Chains A and B, each alone.
Chain A
Amino acid sequence: MILAFRLLVLLLLVFVMLPAAVAIVTAFDSRSIIAFPPQDFSWRWFHRALSYEDFRTGFANSLFVAAVASTAAVVIGAMAAYAIDRYSFRGKATLEALLFAPLAIPHFTLGLGALIVAAQLGQARGWAVVILAHIVLVLPFVLRSLYISLRNTDPRLELVALSLGARPGRVILTVTLPALAPGIAGGWLFAAILSFNEFTASLFVTAQRTQTLPVAMYNYVREYADPSMAAISALYILLTTLVLVVANRFLGLGRVLGTEDARH
């Protein structure tokens, strides 16, 4: 009976891996249509994908947006998380609710809203709108990561530092920040990955010149049916898996996501 369960789990894992595996296999097919079973082996789609102009600019744009949005989110989030966790002030609950609310709103709704606001302000679809939208979307995750870090640090350490004569600014720089480092690092990484992959809201707020990679890929799929996308997907999948395996090694994904067994 345990065997049946194990078999079921295996089948489910195969289901989860199937699309990725299929995409990777297709990327190496030499034919310019997507068909199974694959025939000759070829790298041509990888060459095509890597040299395709829209993919290249898209990639650069995505990197830019992800870097800026994540960094901004982490800075904004660290300060806000600290204030929310350690201080009490009027409107704290409201602020917290507003910062986490984007989690409950579909990205297409946020995208539409951002688009309307940008149009109203006459901003059209420049970098600011895209980056701000990304910040709003990734901030909840950054905050969560920071909350975990804050909860794990003893606030009494700061009191001790103060009692030893350090001023509040120094205490925060020398005691609080180092303690928050894992939350900041993890939050930044998570935010960067989410921002890089974000599609729906970006579709609404990006223009031709600010197009991020997911949007570029979407446009490509709608027009062409060749395996170039498969090649990009293959690269993406391998890269992401690598990052996750490494992250699991060093940060312990299980603990971050809360899936570890309570009592071993």
Chain B
Amino acid sequence: MRRRPFLALFISPAVLVAAGFLAAMAAILQYAFLAFIPGELQPGGLTLANFREMLKPLYAGVFYDTVRICLLTALLSLLAGYPLALALVRARNPYLKSAILIISVTPLFLGEVIRTYAWIVVLGNRGFVNGTLLWLGLIERPIPLLFTEPGVIVALVHVTLPVVVIMLAAAISHIDRDLEKAAATLGAHPLRVFATVTLPLSLPGIIAALTTGFAWTFSAFATPQLIGGGRVNMVSNLVYSLGFASFNFPFAAALSLAGLALTALALAAFRLALSPLHRIGVR
């Protein structure tokens, strides 16, 4: 029999899908270097004007803000996610395990808009936080939380948390329990066992979670758009307002390209900075 029956049939549709993806990416690459003609959909000729435009403080500032927000979000998600992941993996009661898993993972399946909207309700001037504080008499005027960077970051952490928890939990679950038992028999109390055995061995997971958290946050759109309300802008919001509202496809494409390059650079920097630590945790 032929060693690869139906090969063409099996891979043609996938090849088409891959081609579609390539076409979209090629379009971005192409348009980034084309000129924008206001009022027209069709772009002009080859130019680097888009990239020059990007260096202006207005736009460069957005890039800087984005990186800062992504870093903060990734770090905070890691700090919040580690205890959850640890509890998830080590819980002995199967109902507790399921509960933690479902609670942690459900936000992932709710969609950006609903999650962001729920945070609007929580952070609004008459929302949950302010409403409760006002009602308790702890404040006299509502604290502005919407349209502020901290508000956006809190919502972004909530969005990134499920992914981080899953990655950490996967890494922690691969740690041999016997190692922790051995450490205990050698006289290490639980905190010491955690610091000297569990944490180092979960380092690959921590690195993966940080890099994924960063990349995930970078692609967030609805959250900064709705909670940032135009005052807190990330690269994604900029691309939308330029590409969609002004139909300035070339500039939007250039921004997207720069965003991709930035993310790739940031990820590489992560790997480089954390790789010496990575070797400690490797089997």
- A residues with CB within 8 A of B: 1-2, 5-6, 8-9, 12-13, 15-20, 22-23, 26, 33-37, 75-77, 79-80, 82-84, 87, 89, 95, 98-99, 101-102, 104-110, 112-117, 119-120, 132, 135-136, 139, 162, 167-169, 172, 193, 196-200, 203-204, 214, 217-218, 221-222, 229-230, 232-233, 236-237, 240-241, 243-245, 248, 253-254, 257-263
Assess whether A217 is in contact with B13, with CB atoms less than 8 Å apart.
Answer: no
Assuming A116-B253, A236-B110, A253-B102, is B239 touching A108 (CB within 8 A)? yes
* Alpha-carbon distance A105/B24, docked complex (angstroms): 11
* Alpha-carbon distance A177/B166, docked complex (angstroms): 29
Ordered by A's residue number, 21 sampled pairs between the chains whose C-beta atoms are within 8 Å are A19-B121, A20-B106, A22-B127, A23-B118, A37-B135, A79-B13, A83-B10, A106-B260, A107-B221, A108-B239, A108-B256, A112-B239, A113-B256, A136-B21, A168-B5, A204-B240, A233-B114, A240-B106, A248-B101, A254-B97, A262-B177
Q: Which of B57-65, B83-91, B269-277 contacts A (4 or more CB under 8 A)?
A: B83-91
> Contacts of A105 on B, CB cut-off 8 Å?
25, 219, 260
Chain B nearest CB: distance from A146 CB in Å? 12
Assess whether A16 is in contact with B103, with CB atoms less than 8 Å apart.
Answer: yes
Assess whether A119 is in contact with B41, with CB atoms less than 8 Å apart.
Answer: yes
> Contacts of B17 on A, CB cut-off 8 Å?
76, 99, 132, 135-136, 139
Assuming A23-B117, A199-B112, is B14 touching A80 (CB within 8 A)? yes
Assess whether B249 is in contact with A106, with CB atoms less than 8 Å apart.
Answer: no
* Alpha-carbon distance A258/B208, docked complex (angstroms): 14
> Contacts of A248 on B, CB cut-off 8 Å?
98, 101-102
> Contacts of A19 on B, CB cut-off 8 Å?
107, 115, 118-119, 121-122, 158
Chain A nearest CB: distance from B160 CB in Å? 12
Interface SS majority for chain A: helix
Residue of B nearest to A243 (CB): B109
Assuming A79-B14, A109-B239, is B219 touching A89 (CB within 8 A)? no
Assuming A241-B102, A263-B178, is B252 touching A20 (CB within 8 A)? no
Partner of B111, one of A33, A95, A199, A263: A199
Interface SS majority for chain B: helix
* Alpha-carbon distance A116/B253, docked complex (angstroms): 9
> Contacts of A244 on B, CB cut-off 8 Å?
102, 105-106, 109
Chain A nearest CB: distance from B99 CB in Å? 8
Chain A nearest CB: distance from B32 CB in Å? 10
Partner of A95, one of B15, B106, B222: B15
Residue of B nearest to A82 (CB): B10
User: 8 tightest A-B contacts by CB?
Assistant: A36-B131, A106-B219, A113-B24, A197-B111, A19-B118, A80-B14, A259-B169, A35-B126
Chain A nearest CB: distance from B12 CB in Å? 9
Assess whether B84 is in contact with A12, with CB atoms less than 8 Å apart.
Answer: yes
* Alpha-carbon distance A256/B182, docked complex (angstroms): 30
> Contacts of A82 on B, CB cut-off 8 Å?
10
* Alpha-carbon distance A17/B128, docked complex (angstroms): 13
* Alpha-carbon distance A228/B173, docked complex (angstroms): 42
* Alpha-carbon distance A254/B215, docked complex (angstroms): 24
Chain B nearest CB: distance from A252 CB in Å? 9
Assuming A77-B14, A82-B10, A263-B177, is B253 touching A112 (CB within 8 A)? yes
User: 18 extra interchain contacts, Cβ-Cβ under 8 A, other than A110-B21, A132-B20, A204-B240?
Assistant: A13-B104, A15-B158, A16-B161, A22-B121, A77-B14, A80-B14, A84-B11, A87-B4, A87-B7, A98-B18, A106-B256, A108-B240, A112-B239, A136-B21, A230-B117, A244-B109, A257-B170, A259-B170
> Contacts of A101 on B, CB cut-off 8 Å?
21
> Contacts of A120 on B, CB cut-off 8 Å?
27
> Contacts of A199 on B, CB cut-off 8 Å?
111-113, 221-222
* Alpha-carbon distance A193/B107, docked complex (angstroms): 12
Does B259 make an interface contact (CB < 8 A)? yes
> Contacts of A162 on B, CB cut-off 8 Å?
1
Chain B nearest CB: distance from A164 CB in Å? 13
Assess whether A108 is in contact with B120, with CB atoms less than 8 Å apart.
Answer: no
Residue of A nearest to B123 (CB): A19
Assess whether A108 is in contact with B236, with CB atoms less than 8 Å apart.
Answer: yes
* Alpha-carbon distance A49/B231, docked complex (angstroms): 29
Assess whether B175 is in contact with A262, with CB atoms less than 8 Å apart.
Answer: yes
* Alpha-carbon distance A33/B161, docked complex (angstroms): 30
> Contacts of B85 on A, CB cut-off 8 Å?
259
Assuming A36-B128, A116-B249, is B240 touching A203 (CB within 8 A)? yes
